[in-house]
Structure 1
Amino acid sequence: MPTHTPTPVATTPPLREGWMARAALRCAAWAERWFPDAYVFAVLGVIVVAVSALAHGATAQATVGAFGDGFWTLIPFTMQMVFVVIGGYVVATAPVVARLIDALARFPRSGRGAVCFVALVGMLSSLVSWGFSLVFAGLLVRALGRRDDLDMDYRAAGAAAYLGLGAVWAMGLSSSAAQLQANPASMPPGLIEITGVLPFTQTILLWQSIALTASLIVVSLAMCWWTAPRGASARTAREFIDTTQVATPAIPPRSRPGEWLEYSPVLTILLSLLAFGWLAREFASKPAVSAIASLNTYNFLFLALGLLLHWRPRSFLDAVARAVPGTTGVLIQFPLYGGIAMMLTAATGDGGQTLAHRLSSAFVHVASTDSFAVVMGAYSAVLGFFVPSGGGKWIIEAPYVMQAANELKVHLGWAVQVYNAAEALPNLINPFWMLPLLGVLGLKARDIVGFTFMQLLVHIPLVLGLLWLLGNTLTYQPPVMT
């Protein structure tokens, strides 16, 4: 009796990862095991700066006094940053925006494509608002994670969602430094005498700045493609979160007669008339770039827009309540950074000099007109790892950095952009600004930092090289007072 030989079934060989993807996976595995919580970094920063101040001759009394005196100094800026997060979250979770996110999540056709798509959306939106970018991109990752047909690595997608803040945020309207320099009413008197007023046309709207931003976006997308794991190497969203849970739940039905105003749009309409009336007056009385340069106006715009998009007060309040946990890291850690800043600038040591003065003296000593961009960029990146201020430390650094730019005849607007581009670099591995995004994704910093570290390795030479190259196309212009 003849025997039947079964026809071999064709099988798809397992995907072989490229060397960049393998390196990213090894970095991710290391970070998942060894990377500490963001709060640990903040405390370590305090200790390192305190020890450095003591080593440079500051007394223990001066050091602890500076730390305590500086602990509350960043409270106004802290609240502004909290409202950046809340405003971004409220807008990103509005029903109409949630539907937009679901529509966008249908576009990618592969796991790698989804990771790159998230990165592009995150980076472009961060140029308008980094707070909105973190939440919007995070919710997009969750929406993509619910698709069973994608082998999208949830960790790589989370890292891609963070690239707005890790790569280009400070090159757009989110730049606190550019906003400060464009708004003379917000500038300390000592700074305005050094720099004058620098409108956006001299900072973020320079063609050199736009070229640098475009280069960062293209390279970041390429790195996302090369480092995203595929197939069996990819860890999907189901391994980290409940993918059946809706990220923006519907508001519960009204249960008491006293709640009718919470569910009625009447209050929203009346409050929106006031809010948008003020905004209309603000933008009518000054150029748009000057109006949006105020961080208070910037936050007010997002809150008013979020209120209107949610329509019912109950929906708006629920969104604010969901946003608040994402601000806990800002609230508890910013006072520590205020203490660090004060120890740098107020704890005097040998010769009556502070640690910041010693750093600035060293900076001016080693920099030249040709090397200013590289030296300042490296300096800002290193300091930004210890003081991730979202641009706030520009107030501390600007007087001596911009004075050096004047003495070396460096374009003042480009000096601001050097700071902006370099300040984003430490964000790629410092977990502080990851906190709002991680809250949306349900991840830990250790889950995504292996992938962002690979981005950092490429971004450092790219940013410093382009800062030097493009800076050579600009000529110095004396400060302009208004």
Structure 2
Amino acid sequence: MTTTQTDHPDVRQKGLARMAETLAGWTQKWFPDAYIFALAGVVLVAIAALAIGASPKAVVDSFGNGFWDLTAFTLQMAMVVLTGYVVATSPPVARLIDRLAQVPNSARTAVSFVAVLSMSVSFVNWGLSLIFGGLLARAVARRADLHVDYRALGAAAFMGLGAVWALGMSSSAAQLQATKASIPPALLKVTGVLDFGTTIFTWQSLLTLLILMVLTTVIAHFSAPTGSAVKTAADLGVDLDDQPEPPAEKSRPGEWLEYSRVLPILAGVLTLGWLVSHLLTLPILSVVSSLNGYLLVFLMLGLVLHGTPRKFLQSVTKAVPATAGILVQFPLYAAMAAILTKATGAGGLSVSEHLAHFFTSIGGNGAFAVIIAIYTAILGMFVPSGGGKWLVEAPYVMQSATDVNMNLGWTVQIYNMAEALPNLVNPFFMLPLLAVLGLRARDLVGFTFQQFLFHLPVVLLLAWLLGMTFEFVPPVIPN
């Protein structure tokens, strides 16, 4: 068969699609598995700690003692995958996703459609966005009438996390700053309590969210490969069958409860009672954005939606292998964070504090917003944990913001804007999605890195320009 000019990928692909294809090809060849990325990061920060004068004993002690610091978070992230998968593969939600997957009428529209829904859901809850976006991408990829690139779909499904997650209501930093009981005493003395009216729901933050969503959607649309450059799920060896196996026939009387809807309904009633009780006694945002509460509700919701314990457990069994990467990789990030923050060198300063002092020392004269955004993005490459990193970064960043008369609420949002940037490069938060998609980080990073190249200057520009619209408001320190 003779290849026509329009079939040749180097001729057909233009603009963003050509750029994405080039980056995708490079990352598939050179980008290591996410676990290798984590191992290399640990070695790099250990060398950095030794370079600032930390003793080898301090480095190895920080590594070993901090290795399990994220144990609870590791379990939570594994449960994010499991609960999201179980809910999304339940018959009612699977039918909804299948209907949504029929909306796009072209391959590129499908990619941008997945990106928009992923970012929209992420504003409410980033954990749901990962799994919902991943399963929507799989449903779209199953359409025989769309010759759509599975890598581009997967990258679009990640945009809720990679583009806007920290500007939404589940932002760890904004949630912490709005909850007096959660703010460490040392930080509370610097910032006071900053409710969502000073962070998430300022017009500057909402405008930033809108701009980034539009930018992300346009890039996702025009960077999707077409024609012979497309790599479908089948080309990548991914099985798209999300249907649970039919339950086996009852073989003994003791199995009748496994096929009964009674226990799931009762468990659902208990969960609903807990949810109503908390909504009546606590601020609604603190309830809907609580990760533990989210996991409880979604686990029980999955049980109810599947109808019987047997069907629920079949779905759980299918979801468990998807958590493997999280279980072995997150401890390395915990060790990395411990070395960065606890292995001190000359003057009793850690690597993290050396970085902070460097950036804040040159952050005056209107450049503070840009410097803090750059610092947050750089540190996020090595400590990709929104809530945990804010606890490390906030005391000296917020004190510096006060010193240069920068609005504290906007400083939190500068952090949130920049916090998403490392996710486009570092596959830490990509792991749950990769498990759902059946892909590796190298399959998506070419597309997400392209987003990073566009997002970085836009985020820095917005942090600077919109920061000029704020006035400094001295913090109100509660008694």
Same fold, TM-score > 0.5, yes or no: yes
Letter in 1 for 2:133: A
What's the secondary structure of 1:238's corresponding residue?
A: coil
Q: Which residue of 2 aligns with 1:24?
A: 20
Match of 1:197 among 189, 193, 196: 193
User: Are 1:247 and 2:231 matched, yes or no?
Assistant: no
d(CA) in 2 for partners of 1:358, 1:237:
45
- Pairwise mapping of residues 366-381 of structure 1 onto structure 2 (< 5 A)? 366-368=362-364, 370-381=366-377
Partner of 1:158: 154
Is residue 78–residue 432 contact of structure 2 (8 Å, CA) maintained in 1? no
Which residue number corresponds to residue 431 of structure 2? Answer: 435
- What residue in structure 2 maps to residue 318 of structure 1? 314
**Is residue 134 of structure 2 the alignment partner of residue 138 of structure 1?**
yes
Could you give the per-residue CA deviations for residues 294-333 of structure 1, whole angstroms, max 9, x where no partner exists?
Answer: 3322333333333332232223333333333333233222
Counterpart amino acid of residue 235 in structure 1: K
In structure 1, what is the equivalent of residue 298 of structure 2? 302
Q: 1:172 aligns with which of 168, 173, 181?
A: 168
Structure 2 gaps, min length 5: none
| Residue of structure 2 equivalent to 1:8 | none
CA distance in 2, matches of 1:423, 1:119: 19
Runs of 4+ in 1 over 6 A off after TM superposition: none
State how far apart, in whole Å, the 1-side matches of 2:254 and 2:273 are. Answer: 29
Q: 1:36 to 1:13 in 2, by over 3 A?
A: closer
CA distance in structure 1 between the aligned counterparts of 2:423 and 2:142, rounded to whole angstroms:
28
SS state at 1:190 partner = helix
Contact kept? 1:251, 1:314, Cα under 8 Å: no
Match of 1:212 in 2: 208
Residues 1:236 and 2:248 are matched in the alignment: no
Distance 1:478 1:308 in 2: 49
Alpha-carbon displacement from aligned partner over 1:162-182 (angstroms, at most 9, x marks no partner): 111110111112311112122
- Could you tell which deviates more after superposition, 39-48 or 295-304? 295-304
> How far did residue 21 of structure 1 move?
0.9
CA distance in 1, matches of 2:81, 2:188: 29
Corresponding residue for 2:115?
119
| Residue pair 1:203, 1:209 contacting (<8 A) in 2 also | yes
Query: How many pairs are equivalent?
Result: 471
1:182, 1:328 → 2: CA distance? 34
The aligned counterpart of 1:465 is 461
- CA deviations 1:193-216 (Å, max 9, x no partner) are 222222222221111111111111
Partner of 1:275: 271
| The one of 417, 421, 439 aligned to 1:425 | 421
Does residue 389 of structure 1 match 2:385?
Answer: yes
Contact 1:380 1:422 in 2 (8 A): yes
Q: 1:177 to 1:290 in 2, by over 3 A?
A: same
Rounded Cα–Cα distance in structure 2 between residues aligned with 1:421 and 1:320 = 35
Unmatched 5+ residue regions in structure 1? 1-10
Once structures 1 and 2 are overlaid, which stretch shifts more, 212-221 or 66-75? 66-75
CA shift, 1:385, in A, is: 1.0
**Partner of residue 188 from structure 1, selected from 175, 184, 190:** 184
The residue identity in structure 1 corresponding to 2:218 is: A
Residue range with higher mean Cα deviation, 365-374 or 454-463: 365-374
Superposed displacement of residue 242, structure 1? 5.5
Q: 2:408 aligned to 408, 412, 416, which one?
A: 412
Partners of 2:454 and 2:287 lie apart in 1 by 36
Q: CA deviation at 1:427?
A: 0.9
